[in-house]
Structure 1
Amino acid sequence: MRLATFNVLHGRSLDDGAVERERFRAAVALLDADVLGMQEVDRGQARSGHIDLTAVAAEASGAVAHRFAPALIGTPGEVYRRLAHDDDGTGEPSFGVSLISRWPIRSWHVTRLTGAPVRSPIYTPGPGGRFTWLRDEPRVVLAAVVEGPDGPFTVATTHLSFVPAWNAGQLRLAVRALRRLPPPRVLLGDLNMPARAASLISGWRPLARTATYPAWQPRVQLDHVLLDRRGGARWPSEGAVEAPRVPFSDHRPLVVDTSAGPPPRRPGADDY
């Protein structure tokens, strides 16, 4: 099984600032993920050419099921609104997370997390990158009960706050919500914290330890694949790990292959 998480930066290249459908599709296809969790995903946004990035990724993966869960309606960093309980922002520009699966989904589950009430300094990547004070945004956890080849399991994806301590509280809330769903459980996401902190706070086991940020010279791991096996059937506790460079985003995707033996070489940025 190949599990992957990827903060896609709405598909934007830091080299040319563009979002290109074919470039995005090709990169996702090369990840060859059975289950892919994506963060910073646009739907219907002018800045990404009104592309439905979730649908493009699902087609590229050969998925049988996919879903987008908006964290907010509008454009992050500009004008947006939070979602009401029964509001999914259909037909409006939105921003959130996605799950894509090659296996059928038994049920979908969404948990909403409140953003921090304070601003925090964040590095803006790309040419002329700099630190800016940003307001935090609402977050969302998208979970699915998957009909896997060895039985059902729960997988979820999220993108937690960049505000220290606040993201720790969000992770605890996410774990609490996921424990209501069938084990084993996997969390894929940009948690905005290092692996040791993510493991200690969640109580879950990291399946990968490798730097993923920034993409051009990774120094820290912000993206994680965490496993909770409690109460579940036998589940691989390790696998081959990849963090390939792709031609967009400021993060590298993180892929864990739990099948036996090392995975074949996957093309890197120079192969595009």
Structure 2
Amino acid sequence: MSKSKATKPLAQKISSSFSEKIRRPRQAPRSRAKTETEPAPPRDFLRLVTFNIEHGTPQAGWSDPDVGSLKLPWNDKELGVYWLTRGLAQLLGPRSLSARAAVAKKALEDTARIIRKLNPDVVCLQEVDKGQRRSGYIPQAEFLSEALGMPYWRMAAAWAGPAYTVHRRPLHAHITRENGYGLAMMSRWPVKSWHFKRLGKARPRLRWGRGTWTGFSKGLLAGLRSLPQAIAGVKLVFGQMRVLQAARVLTPFGTVAIGNIHLETHRGVAQSQLRRSWRSVFDLNHDNCVLVGDFNLREDTSTEALQLLDEAMLPEIHGLVASYPSEKAWIPLDQLLARGWTFAAEPRTIRMPISDHLAVIYDLKPAK
């Protein structure tokens, strides 16, 4: 585990309606054996774990190759085999679906075992798959909630449909029969209400390659000479739908509004999404609210975004700890904002069997 810094006040008063309260759907009968909820030990703090699980990808990668993601061969003689293999892969999944499912299940079980030892009150997950070929068709949110013994859980789908084809807007935020991808939140304590908000996505944009092109500011010839190096590796990047998931959780410290987010990789869009998300969670409970998740922002850019908020809405604490990449973390992507709370301990991270992120543990105690 590694420790890091935390704290900083910030934020703004803008009322924006946020709701779409979601009816709690009937829980389908489950065939797997349930893990009994362990009694929570008496303690004077609330423990939140936020983790971008990268749809359950093991640290060492998948041991069974997914033939659906093969690169196009340059040898013309192999093209027929390639397209046949890819077509079958799209229909049948990885080369061995049973092998992929077994690897995915084992990785999630090992992850759940570690999280269970942390004894968290609330777990917020990002990049969660449901029924996707790449992750063995496992409903990851349901699987982990059962493995952790957390009976109050919900998935918030950013989109529905297969990961490798056209996405569509889900019929319901908490998808039950569709496959999809998004966020998940699970709690040891009862949830009074669930909330969901679509945050939109960034426009398609060009991402430059090795060099940065400054245009023709230094003359026509200089601009033309520098263009090839800048173009090398350039690609068109499409935005991805982002959502906010929130819940009013009935904890021993009262009702807490907790939000879970995974923001865009485009800095300006992510800053706007962060402000909108914080306002929405703040509206649920002005005096007792928390927002966690993968902000996709550095410390300075998230602070810059929050400075546009009204003083009455500013977060009282800002949790930061290096959590990405998992091999040698140095970027604090997985952050926390809160009002009505202080840190009971320094935020810390732990490496899991899955993901390119570290899981982050935040221990909070009431400020008053």
- TM interval, shorter chain, is 0.7 to 0.9
* Structure 2: gaps spanning 5 or more residues: 1-45, 64-102, 210-232, 307-313
Confirm or deny: 8 A CA contact 1:34 1:61 kept in the other structure: no
| Equivalent residue number for residue 100 of structure 1 | 186
Deviation at 1:132, TM superposition (A): 5.8
- Could you say what secondary structure the match of 1:41 adopts? strand
| Equivalent residue number for residue 15 of structure 1 | 60
User: Which of 260, 268, 276 lines up with 1:157 in the alignment?
Assistant: 260
| Equivalent residue number for residue 66 of structure 1 | 153
1: distance between equivalents of 2:318 and 2:252?
20
Confirm or deny: 8 A CA contact 1:156 1:186 kept in the other structure: yes
1: distance between equivalents of 2:337 and 2:234?
30
| Equivalent residue number for residue 294 of structure 2 | 190
CA deviation vs aligned residue, 1:76-116 (integer Å, no higher than 9, x gap): 464211346x5655422200000010000000000111101
2: distance between equivalents of 1:197 and 1:27?
31
Counterparts in 2 of 1:2 and 1:89: CA distance versus 1, 3 Å? closer
* Structure 1: gaps spanning 5 or more residues: 124-129, 230-234, 260-272
| Equivalent residue number for residue 145 of structure 1 | 248
Counterparts in 2 of 1:255 and 1:236: CA distance versus 1, 3 Å? same
Q: How does 1:193-204 map to 2 (within 5 A)?
A: 193-202=297-306, 203-204=314-315
- Counterpart amino acid of 2:62? G
CA deviation vs aligned residue, 1:209-237 (integer Å, no higher than 9, x gap): 221111111111111122123xxxxx333
- Counterpart amino acid of 1:188? V
**Cα root mean square deviation, aligned:** 2.5
- Counterpart amino acid of 1:227? A
Q: How does 1:29-40 map to 2 (within 5 A)?
A: 29-31=113-115, 32=118, 33-40=120-127
- Counterpart amino acid of 2:205? R
Deviation at 1:177, TM superposition (A): 1.4
2: distance between equivalents of 1:140 and 1:93?
17
Greater strand share, structure number: 1
2: distance between equivalents of 1:120 and 1:177?
31
Q: How does 1:100-249 map to 2 (within 5 A)?
A: 100-119=186-205, 121=207, 133-182=236-285, 183-202=287-306, 203-229=314-340, 235-249=341-355
Deviation at 1:71, TM superposition (A): 0.2
| Equivalent residue number for residue 57 of structure 1 | 144
Larger RCO, structure (CA 8 Å, separation 6 or more): 2
Rg bigger for which structure?
Answer: 2
Confirm or deny: 8 A CA contact 2:343 2:363 kept in the other structure: no
Confirm or deny: 8 A CA contact 2:152 2:186 kept in the other structure: yes
- Could you say what secondary structure the match of 1:246 adopts? coil
Greater helix share, structure number: 2
More off after superposition, 171-180 vs 95-104 = 171-180
| Equivalent residue number for residue 25 of structure 1 | 109
Counterparts in 2 of 1:101 and 1:135: CA distance versus 1, 3 Å? same
